[in-house]
A and B are shown apart, each in its own frame.
Chain A
Amino acid sequence: MTGVDVLSQFMSGLTTAMIYFLIAAGLTLILGVLKIMNFAQGGIYMLGAYTTYSFVKLFGGTDAGFWLTLLIAPTVVAAFFCLLEVFLLRWFYEKPALYILLMTYGILIVTYDLARMLWGWIILTAPMPPMFQQPLEIFGLVFPLYNAFLIVMGFFVFSLIWFIIHKTKLGKTMRAAADDREMTAALGINVPWVFTGVFGLGAWIAAIGGALVAPMAGMAADMGVEAGIIAFVVVVIAGLGSLPGALLASFLVGEVQAFGILILPEFAIAFTYLVMVVVLIIRPWGLFGKPVVIK
């Protein structure tokens, strides 16, 4: 095994890490601010992928069409889920947590059948845009250009969200609403709309994750199930509600997976969960999580 092979495996792990991050980041955001475990997150990811397929096909599989699709498709999906949040989820914020969990799970099941209704039973894939069909060569390593693009987009999304949360007034409002809902409302801020905004943002991240994966994978209506599990595992490792945690956790899981299968390919199926078990033993609240204080 040469240095180039190790670098190659590292870069593959990074690709996996970024996909996991995009799926998980939205979940952790919604969890942190709205304090709800959004079971529908995998479904949003899946609809993002399918919508991207339709738009890419609409624009004829061109490069320009792809950029347009990346702008439009996740926004459409996020807007749709914002509507769902306003009409379905808002009623349940004040109620016991179980209602919202059931509601998001119900939405997940509906998205599955919605996908089947709109796109049918057959497997689909979005064509790879022509500009990405050449591989990249760095230090003698061949690396797909699209993977590099995906990694860059992952960092971009992370930076964008981090900037919104920590450097804008909107972000300050979100953090305030997350910490103390009643006080924020007492200050005259329209908390329900902040919540809708956060939900929409979380949905947008998942949708763009699906959009970016669409040209590099086959799509089935149940791809959201697998994604949902991954998102959950990553969020647990990260510490509930932590965005930098989600990035680190995704990176950890991605690289352990990548190098694990080089050494012990028999256990490929187990590595993600192994990381979760080890982290939870060492830090039960996740890498960046805060211990829960029982008042």
Chain B
Amino acid sequence: MKSSQGRGGWKSFGWFLILGIGIFVFCSSQGNAAPPPIKIGVVQSISGMVSEFGLDDVEGFKAKIEEINAKGGVKTKEGLRKIEIIVRDDKLKPDIAVQNAKSLIFEEKCDFLVGGISSACALALSQWAKENKVLYWVWDARADDVTGSKGHPYVFRSSGNTWMNGHAAGSYFKDKPYTKWAYIHPDYAYGREQATAFSKAMKAMKPGFTVVTEQWPKLGTTDYTPYITALMTAKPEIVYTSLWGTDAMTFIKQAKGYGFFSKIKVVGLFWGMPLLRPMGQEMVEGVYVLSEAPFDYPGSPENKAFYDNYQAKMGRFPSDYSVLGYNAGSFIVAGIEKAGTVATEALISALEGISVKTIAPSKIISIRKCDHQSDYGIAVGVTVKDPKWPWFVLKDITTIPGPPTMPSCEQILAERAAAK
């Protein structure tokens, strides 16, 4: 009796165990009924002079993604899916950017790529994306070629480009009395393109426009004094500059010593928060600034929430670049919701022509179908002290909407055909 009971006891126990495991597995699979997260690979330059801006792009993007994840995720055909971001630094080197892309897509199994502040890296990555049929969303690199002659169906850009920047500036300054201009731009592709774009725009729109001198200092020049005195010798009425980051700071600090700003007007491209904040009270009043997201606090309720959250996380207010990242996030989330999936071809179709509401100067921005370029606008203002803040702000802000400043679709298609 005893032995048969014992044998029967073990047999029953075995069955109970199998049943129990089966129930457990069944239950846990029910718990995992939520679809897997969407994985976005970010390839960004967070090195050298561009570190702060590269980081802002990423953090602005993360802010949007965290907002969406807090609501449970983005709505797709499979249900609500959360978004996971993996960030890689390309160290401003195109070959590392491509390596990062390969690793993110093939090893980490990301669904698509986002990023790009260095145009050299963005162009290299764009080429790779085209060959591998991977969606690549560019959020800050400015070279026209990205959506111009080297554009293709798999690449999108949510920021403006140099053509648009130059034409926006042109449409503002054609109404101002200045005709004798001088340039000082950093001597590399970005500076050259900005100068060319502005010249093209002004020659078309402003009769009597001349450039009395062009100065081309190297990126990272420590001493701008000879350039400053060379500019003053040429006696322009106004200077147009795309100097940025530490170069812009150094130029302003050294030019002040010469009384530059009281003799010559200055237009600083992208001299928004990233420059005004560290300059503090050392900034100069009366400088024209083109900025994609002028400091605006509190602004709308969404704006205030964005600013407050960013400040709490990063210890500083968001900059133009943070807004760029945030808007890129808005586009992508809207695209995924419209397509219901992250499958490449469907997502591309959904993104073409899509519009989103933003925290940018133009309240609605869209992606143009012919070239996948957004019609991001830009604001022009004049620097002024503000007793409420330790930095200068912009007054007399005029918003230049994006669409009229863009190159025509015919032009883009012609450039792409010529490049083949």
User: A-side interface residues toward B, CB under 8 Å?
Assistant: 1, 5, 8-9, 11-13, 15-16, 19, 116, 121-125, 127-128, 132-133, 135, 142-147, 213, 215-223, 225-227, 230, 254, 257-258, 261-262, 265-266, 268-269
Contacts and interface: CB of A to CB of B under 8 A. Distances in A.
B85 interface: no
Interface in B229-265: 229-230, 232-233, 245-250, 253-254, 256-259
Interface stretch (B141-149, B208-216, B322-330): B208-216
A269 B254 contact: no
Which 7 A-B pairs give the minimum distances between C-beta atoms? A144-B257, A218-B249, A218-B246, A258-B226, A12-B225, A217-B250, A12-B226
Contacts of A262: 230, 233
B303 interface: no
**Which secondary structure dominates where chain B touches chain A?**
helix
Contact of A142 (B52, B247, B258): B258
Given A121-B52, A217-B250, A222-B48, A9 B229 contact: yes
B282 A268 contact: no
B361 interface: no
A254 to B, nearest CB: 8
Contacts of A15: 223, 225-226
Contact of B220 (A11, A143, A223): A223
A218 B256 CA distance: 14
Nearest to A257: B226
Contacts of B217: 268-269
18 contacts: A1-B233, A9-B230, A122-B52, A124-B278, A125-B279, A127-B280, A127-B281, A127-B282, A128-B282, A143-B257, A144-B256, A216-B250, A216-B253, A218-B245, A218-B250, A226-B221, A230-B222, A258-B229
A217 B228 CA distance: 14
A268 B215 contact: yes
A227 B222 contact: yes
A220 B221 CA distance: 12
A141 to B, nearest CB: 10
Contacts of B47: 222
Given A216-B253, A226-B222, A265 B215 contact: yes
B249 A123 contact: yes
Contact of B222 (A1, A143, A213, A215): A213
Contact of A220 (B49, B280, B282): B49
B316 interface: yes
A132 B256 CA distance: 11
Given A217-B246, A218-B247, A121 B229 contact: no
B218 interface: yes
Contacts of B250: 216-218
B187 interface: yes
A226 B220 contact: yes
A144 B232 CA distance: 14
Q: How large is the interface on B (under 10, 10 to 19, 20 to 34, 35 or more residues)?
A: 35 or more
Contacts of B246: 123, 217-220, 223
Interface in B47-71: 47-49, 51-52, 55
A225 B49 CA distance: 11
Contacts of B228: 12
Given A257-B226, A266-B214, A268-B216, A135 B48 contact: no
A265 B216 contact: yes
B128 interface: no
A121 B51 contact: yes
A261 B229 CA distance: 10
B330 to A, nearest CB: 25
A216 B223 CA distance: 9
A132 B253 CA distance: 12
B79 to A, nearest CB: 38
Contacts of B253: 125, 128, 215-218
B278 A217 contact: no
B34 to A, nearest CB: 35
B173 interface: no
B320 to A, nearest CB: 14
B29 to A, nearest CB: 44
A124 B274 CA distance: 10
A16 B226 contact: yes
Given A1-B233, A12-B229, A266-B216, A218 B187 contact: no
A125 B277 CA distance: 11
B226 A19 contact: no
Contacts of B187: 268-269
Nearest to B92: A222
Contacts of B220: 220, 222-223, 225-226
Contacts of B221: 226
Contacts of B178: none
A217 B254 CA distance: 7
Contacts of B282: 125, 127-128
A8 B222 contact: no
A130 B290 CA distance: 30
Contact of B225 (A133, A147, A219): A147
Interface string B22-64: 0000000000000000000000001111011001000000000
Contact of A16 (B223, B245, B280): B223
Contact of B257 (A147, A220, A265): A147
B278 A135 contact: no
Query: Which of B187, B215, B246, B280 lies at the interface centre, i.e. has the most chain A CB atoms within 10 A of its CB?
Result: B246
B259 A19 contact: no
Contacts of B46: 121
A134 B223 CA distance: 19
B254 A216 contact: yes
Contacts of B279: 125
Contacts of A218: 245-250, 253, 278
Nearest to A125: B249
Interface string B384-398: 000000000000000
B233 A144 contact: no
B257 A217 contact: no
Contacts of A121: 46, 51-52, 55
A146 B255 CA distance: 12
